[in-house]
Each structure stands twice: as C-alpha cells, then as structure tokens.
Amino acid sequence: MTGGADEPFIAAVKPLVDAIGGELVPPDEAGRDDVLLSWEGAEVVAVRLPQLADSLDHILAAMERRRGVPLADLDRRAKQEVVRNLEARGAFSVRHGVETVASALGVSRFTVYNYLNREKGR
C-alpha cells in the first residue's frame, strides 16, 4: 500500500477487513472481484473478500474468541443463541452452513435444524 497520508484510513478499515476474513491488497493488484477503496479522491487500497464458506469459519472462530471457550463447550441455551445470531447473519444460506455450524457446536445437523425451527415457531 502507498503509506503516508492514507495510513489512518487503512488503519481504520483494517479491523473491519480482518473481522470479515478479508485481505488488504494494493490497488494495482486488485482483481475484478476486489473492492477498491478511495480516500480523498485517490484509490488507496483494495479489499479482497473471502469466499462465503471461509467467512463462516472466520465468524465462528471470532465468536469462540469472544466467548473465551470452544463453542462446543457452551450450554444448550448459549448454543441456541449462537444459532440465532448466525441465522441473522445469513450463515445458513452458505453451502454446508448447517454442517459447519453443527460441527463447531458439537451437535448434530438435526439439532441445529431444531434450534432454527424453534426460533421460527416463536
């Protein structure tokens, strides 16, 4: 990246890019699917977005870090809350999303579907 006056901008967007599992790349290395970010009229940095499945893994890892324990060690109520949060974020629209979440929570796919159906019944 260019450095200099745009460093505060890059520093400001980096936590967001890290949170979604993206990567910062120089603008001249941006691909067709990368998102170019401009600062004061100049292209400063590009964001390479992760594949959706990678993003789900990243979200699960971040949830685990925030809670300070493996998601599989949570009690049933906390696991249901995780499933609610993930559903709100679109995690189950990702191919194999239910399987990925079930594995992270240490439950079966059937259990995840039960948690999802329980929420829809409210």
Contact status, residue 71 vs residue 79, Cβ threshold 8 Å: yes
**Mean pLDDT in residue range 101-111:** 97
**What does the pLDDT average to over 73-79?**
96
Residues 50 and 87: beta-carbon distance below 8 Å: no
pLDDT given at position 2 = 47
- Position 120 scores a pLDDT of 65
Burial of 33 (0-12, 13-18, 19+ CB in 10 A): exposed
Instruction: Supply the pTM of this predicted model.
Output: 0.63
Element (H, E) at 43: strand 42-48
Instruction: Retrieve residue 78's tokens.
Output: 């906390």
Which letter does DSSP use for residue 94 in this model?
Answer: S
The pLDDT of residue 5: 65
Distance between terminal CA atoms of the chain?
A: 49
